[in-house]
Structure 1
Amino acid sequence: MPESIDALVQDLSVRDRTVRRAARDALAALGAEAIDQLLAHTVAGGTKHLRRDVQSIVEHLGEAALPRLREIRRAGPGQLRSKALEILVDLGGADALDEVDQRAVERLVRIKLLDELPVETPFEAGRWLAFPADRLDDAVAALGLHDVRPVTSVMGVAAATQATDSLDFQDAQGKTQRAYRVFITPEFENRRAKGRIKNWRMLWGNSFLDELDGFRLARELSERCGEAHFYILDPYNASENWYIARDGHLLRSYGTYEYPQFEGEPLPFEVLQLEIANEDEAEEYAEGVPDASKAADNLSVEPGPQLAEDTHGHGWLATTHPDVPNSRFKGALPV
């Protein structure tokens, strides 16, 4: 049997698609008994593509793979324990781990939080909310967040922008609902901010902001927190948006493809930008500032690398439904 498994794994790399497909089907049909040997091919030897193919076969086994993967976590072989942990989380989220592993992950997060500075948030593309840092409890209440737990920033960014960040489930009445996962950053101090608020937090969550309308969420958040912003950087469509809400109402906004592009009266930083603009820039800033990153830098906090001395506390991961904790979301996260 071991020789036949090795031969089938090698067939995954041949040019003939029919042979590759037959090898994948044969390996998947072997079930849990082949997990140890398949895992060995994911941690050493072969190409990156081959290791990924073998791992996908193990994941395809689904729940049938879970008992053996947990055994490997408890008793080895040692070189397979790390990969077994990764695949367990990919298959079933943290809920798939036994109690010992869950405690170990929580302990690792606490250790990493002690020395994670400086931190970084995406800066080339994305959408995010910003709200006053001292209104965290109000933001959690306004957005209806649950299972709010401390995480490192690298973990939170991956959870909210790269991994699975929405989950369909059946509620107590049997209706299909959707829960989202979001990341709230540490507190960032921006001494350049022109307003009275210098310390801000950002909230990231692609599906949450897309499907529940980030503009509406900013207005609702500002009702509870006094002020909230929504920003979009979309280089794929060559568009940018920035939206400032205060006390539940739009104060000022810009959108590349909106009509009109600007709404509300120009803010002080925009007036200043026009005053200091050179001849070439004057036309660009005639109506206001169209640059979402520049607006964020002047009004709240611009994403990207954050200075350690301007970063306070840690980030938080949360979900939007009490019946769906973070542990239900699938996918291994960097810590």
Structure 2
Amino acid sequence: MELVEDLAGEDRQRASDRLVAMGEAAVGPVLAVLCDERSPVEWSTAALVLQRIGEPALEPLVGALAAAATTEVARRCSSTLGGLRVADGGRFAALLSHPAPRVRESAASALQDLRADVEPYLPALAGVLDDPDEAVRRRARLAIEAAGWLAVPMLREIRRGTGRRRTAALTTLADVGGWDALDEADRRAVARLIEIKAAREAPAPMHLCGSWFAVPTADQPAVLDAFGLAEPRAVTMRLGGSAWTRDHHGWSSVPHAECRRTYVTPALDGWTLVFGKIPAVAHAAPADSETVWRDEVRARCAALSARFGAAHCYGASCGDGWTAWCLAEDGEVIRFYDAFEPGDQTGEPHPAEAGLRLPHISAFPMEAFEGVPREGIAERFREIQRTLPAQAHATTLAARLSVDPSALGPHTTVAGRAVLALTPCGLAEPSTPGALAI
């Protein structure tokens, strides 16, 4: 069909409009192009035509998806099916019983896009919470979660029943509304599980991305008071770390999602660690957040050290080379370093930095290869690598001065309990949504 060929040319918009006007008659040729990995037509162009045609393309797309011979063709068909313009979401709900897992997953994805309008199809989605395919189960949970609190009564009913769906329902309840979405029976069950796991929990290395404070005290109530935290709830260390990681990495439109709660460790080798975004930093405009962070860290470390004798703040990123540290004693910041703002240092290098190279200092001086012949550059490079001092990092400083969270283990002494506590932002908001590892 000449119009389909025109989808690869400069007049693709006109061709698209005419194909859409043809409706069902255009579905077969356009679908063939979509499934042809060698076609000069961009698959996304063909997909948009089919999505605009809508209902007549549904069954052919389902057939193509179920029969897809390659992962790429399956991906194209699935993406197209998920965005198909179909007036009745019940058509997608009916596909949740299709024999092909790919089709069931795509149908759940299409229902997820309905968000609150998915309510009539929640029972159908609940029916695949125990689907034999993990991808289908995951997509069904996301689709139910998209309905928000409209799904809570159904999920609570599933929790009171039997079968594998109970676990998926609990996770989805937590993702919808956190602690507030659980009924009293589930709250008691979760609390019991936390107590059981905490009793035999050994410290384990934490994934670090963000900043944390370290205070040389085992007086947790005093630390909570110093940070203005309230309503501490006993948790496992794993749960506390999971909450911090989720709050830092998760994207959410929920107000104050990053700064509602703080993870406070038990005393680890005599140091209490505090993980959580400072509210003032979370509230700052993106362009100002780094400056606000540096100012807040300096001020908070100084205040904490006046109360506890010393206080540290460390920062590390899992996505780039950022690292930072702030060290304060007796009410005064004696050292501050930020790898991305080396011109904003405070104090001279700390003795704990001895033998280390600051991250902003070039590893290879410009003159390193002067006079070295081309064939000797590789050997000169290896020679310099062998002689370079190790690069300083927050975890290195923490290991030398306090506690390195990335190196926790059975050797770490533990006193007290881990807690999640609420910031002033958290006190004014519902519980934070999101299932956490216990």
Aligned 1:119-268 pairs, distance under 5 A? 119-123=204-208, 125-163=209-247, 168=255, 179-189=259-269, 199-206=270-277, 208=279, 210-211=281-282, 213=293, 215=297, 216-260=299-343, 262-268=345-351
In structure 1, distance between residues paired with 2:234 and 2:306:
25
TM-score (norm 1): 0.76
- Is 1:112 aligned to residue 197 of structure 2? yes
In structure 2, distance between residues paired with 1:13 and 1:280:
50
Structure 2 residues not aligned, in runs of 5+: 1-89, 283-291, 358-383
Compute the RMSD of aligned alpha carbons.
3.7
How many pairs align?
306
Shift of 1:251: 0.9
- Do 1:135 and 1:225's aligned partners in 2 also have CA atoms closer than 8 Å? no
Aligned 1:13-52 pairs, distance under 5 A? 13=102, 29=117, 31=119, 34-48=121-135, 50-52=136-138
Q: What corresponds to 2:166 in structure 1?
A: 81
Q: What corresponds to 2:286 in structure 1?
A: none
Kindly name which structure, 1 or 2, has the bigger radius of gyration based on alpha carbons. Answer: 2
Normalized per residue, which structure has more helix? 2
- Do 1:9 and 1:23's aligned partners in 2 also have CA atoms closer than 8 Å? no
In structure 2, distance between residues paired with 1:178 and 1:28:
24
AA in 1 matched with 2:147: L
- Do 2:314 and 2:325's aligned partners in 1 also have CA atoms closer than 8 Å? yes
Shift of 1:207: 6.1
In structure 2, distance between residues paired with 1:282 and 1:3:
67
Shift of 1:229: 0.7
Q: Which of 291, 297, 311 is matched with 2:413 structurally?
A: 311
Shift of 1:39: 2.5
Q: Equivalent residue of 2:314, what SS?
A: strand
Q: Which of 82, 93, 112 is matched with 1:5 structurally?
A: 93
- Do 2:173 and 2:182's aligned partners in 1 also have CA atoms closer than 8 Å? yes
- Is 1:330 aligned to residue 410 of structure 2? no
Q: What corresponds to 1:53 in structure 2?
A: 139
- Do 1:28 and 1:58's aligned partners in 2 also have CA atoms closer than 8 Å? no
- Do 2:337 and 2:344's aligned partners in 1 also have CA atoms closer than 8 Å? yes
- Do 2:180 and 2:430's aligned partners in 1 also have CA atoms closer than 8 Å? yes
AA in 2 matched with 1:113: A
Distance 1:272 1:84, change over 3 A: closer
- Is 1:98 aligned to residue 183 of structure 2? yes
Shift of 1:152: 0.6
- Do 2:203 and 2:412's aligned partners in 1 also have CA atoms closer than 8 Å? no
The higher relative CO (CA closer than 8 Å, separation ≥ 6) is in 1
Identity rate, percent: 31
- Do 2:301 and 2:313's aligned partners in 1 also have CA atoms closer than 8 Å? yes
- Do 1:252 and 1:262's aligned partners in 2 also have CA atoms closer than 8 Å? yes
In structure 2, distance between residues paired with 1:88 and 1:238:
37
